[in-house]
Amino acid sequence: MIRKLVPYLVYSYVSFIGWTTRQRVLRADIPEKVHAAGERFIYAFWHQRQVFFTWSHRNVSAAVLVSKSNDGEMIARTMELSGIDAVRGSSSRGGAAAAREMVEILRSGRDVGITPDGPRGPAREVKEGAVRVAQLAGMPIVPIANALSHRIEVAKAWDRFQVPLPFGRSVVIYGEPVRVADGDDLAAKAAELKAALDALTAEADRLVR
């Protein structure tokens, strides 16, 4: 019963955060240009910052990779309430099938989302799954970050997971697309994506201080 209630409680709390937070979005023209060119893309964002995206990107035509764990089930249900679909899998469980599903979703005309350091870390280290999906689908990765002036960091969590608090300011920032062509070195592309995400995250943090 508790597990069934948790997604509704989390959804209600995140909605309250969204209603009471002043939001600023920077460089929203980047994903718009990708779509205007007839492409879809892969959102990539650090696991630590995922909560606020369920508000800032509610009801988008996208599906986000979520682990097959019990916690993942609650996350998927919360996302569903926010109008975001889930692809179930991770690097340790169901990863290959999830990658194929994401490629199919991209080719069908929808975006997908990945936390490239999730679900268990190491924190802010890009696993090659995200760049492999981009390579297989022939679609770009758009790095994205957010930051909130009012938040709690869970010190014991592997990624210092952030819990947003109400009545603050937020910023959401998009970065330039990262493209992965056939024959590209995936480790090098993973490093490129990490650098982009780290820079965006630092920029977002500066803007809400």
CA 16 to CA 121: how far, in whole Å? 29
Q: Does pTM surpass 0.95?
A: no
Alpha carbons 157 and 198: distance in angstroms, whole number: 19
Average model confidence (pLDDT) for the chain? Answer: 94
Token code pair at residue 44 = 């990539």
pLDDT number for residue 6:
92
Mean pLDDT of 144-164: 97
* Cα separation values, 123 from 45, 113, 120, 154, 205, Å: 12, 17, 8, 13, 17
Residue 113: pLDDT band (50, 70, 90) is: very high
Number of domains in the chain: 1
Residue 116 pLDDT > 70: yes
Would you place residue 70 in the very low, low, confident or very high pLDDT band (cuts 50, 70, 90)? confident
Domain range spanning residue 139?
A: 2-207
Paired sense of beta strands 42-44 and 62-66, if any = unpaired
Q: How much is the pLDDT for 108?
A: 95
- Vertex 87: Cα angle to 59 and 99 (nearest 5): 130
> How confident is the model over 51-62, as pLDDT tens digits?
999 999 999 989
Kindly tell me if the per-residue pLDDT of 71 is higher than 90: no
pLDDT of residue 90: 67
156: domain CATH number is 3.40.1130.10
At 172, phi and psi to the nearest 5?
-120, 130
